[in-house]
Amino acid sequence: MKLGFVFPGQGAQTVGMGKDLYENFEEVRKIYEKAKEVTGIDVANLTFESTEEELSQTKNTQIAILTMSLGILEVLKKNKIEADFLAGLSLGEYAALIYSNIISLEDGLRIIQKRGEYMQSLVPKGNWAMAAVIGLPDEEVERICKEEIKSGFIVPANYNCPGQVAVSGDKEAITELVEKGKNLGARKVVELKTSGPFHTEKLKDASDKLREELDKIEINKDFTKKVFKNLDAKEYTKEDDIKNILAKHVMSPVRFSKSVENMINQGVDTFIEIGPGKVLSGFIRKINKEVKVLNIQDKESLENTLKILKEEN
């Protein structure tokens, strides 16, 4: 068995996520305490007691999801469950980078706090939205955005799995796509729970400010785990300008589907989605029906995953 860990991004959040893990595992509580110490944000209270509207603000969502994922990783480490192949969807890549020791825990928490703030506050004025286009090839979604939608800016943002691409842009353009989707051949078009034109050129100011913050942290180039980049779906190497890649990341499309394919090509046969929801698990099953896909988002799924892994070893 060759394990790969994958980490979800914004949109997977729900109020109360991770609460039973926090209540039952000291390792998880320690990560939430560290997040509060580093960022000044009471992430436990934010995640467990806030409203969906408050939690869905980008500045809150990113630190909440990252903290939950990192807490689960600590329980896996205690149980001697480790992976050498890692990928994350957008902010999920930071969990992979922290786990691999490319970025320290403290620096990772600080950067995600700033990343969330910049992605919320440095969006150009406008009415922005995102939507998932289901049932069309990537190239057709690219063509539709370029040629068919006339009411505003719209581009592909996340290549999730075969037959599903998330697009980002003006609210009017997203609405037009939702209305025209079936006539253009899509099975359906679903608007997403996000609040900005993420992973597009509109995030240039946020990218520039994030680069300034990244320049303040240390990058460890002495890593052995394989982390697959959102930017081009290839592994990070010791020659990469990692800070520049992460800065570009917020204004470039996410290549999650290809990242998973590349992990499978390197022998990964079992994936564990670590964090809220099962969205990535669904993507992976559509990418390759042969691999085993597990997920950990609460105490029950954690115990189930540990049981399955121990039975197979």
Closest CA to 162 of 137, 139, 140: 137
Stretches in the chain below the pLDDT threshold 70: 195
State the pLDDT at residue 54.
96
Q: Which of 56, 100, 199, 259 is catalytic?
A: 199
The full set of domains in the chain, from first to last, is 3-122+201-312 (3.40.366.10), 128-191 (3.30.70.250)
Q: Tell me if 75 sits within 8 A of 302, measured CB to CB.
A: yes
| Burial environment of residue 308 by CB neighbours within 10 A (0 to 12, 13 to 18, 19 or more) | middle
The two structure tokens encoding residue 33 = 């305490």
State the pLDDT at residue 29.
98
Q: Which of 56, 69, 90, 281 is catalytic?
A: 90
Q: What is the C-alpha separation between 108 and 66, in angstroms, rounded? A: 9
pLDDT, tens digit, 9 for 90 and up, residues 118-173: 999 999 999 999 999 999 999 999 999 999 999 999 999 999 999 999 999 999 99
pLDDT, tens digit, 9 for 90 and up, residues 58-82: 999 999 999 999 999 999 999 999 9
Q: Which long-range contacts (CB under 8 A, 24 or more apart) does 179-185 make?
A: 180/148, 180/149, 181/133, 184/136, 184/144, 184/148, 185/135, 185/136, 185/140
How many other C-beta atoms lie within 10 A of the C-beta of residue 249?
A: 22
State the pLDDT at residue 193.
72
State the pLDDT at residue 195.
64
State the pLDDT at residue 160.
96
- Going by C-beta distance under 8 Å and a sequence separation of 6 or more, which residues neighbour residue 74? 25, 27, 28, 30, 31
Give me the numbers of helices (H) and strands (E) for the chain, helices first please: 14, 9
Active site residue 259: no
Closest CA to 153 of 179, 175, 184, 185: 175
Which phi-psi region, left, alpha or beta, contains residue 42 (left: φ > 0; alpha: ψ -120 to 50)?
beta
State the pLDDT at residue 310.
87
DSSP at 148: I
DSSP at 235: B
State the pLDDT at residue 312.
80
Active site residue 249: no
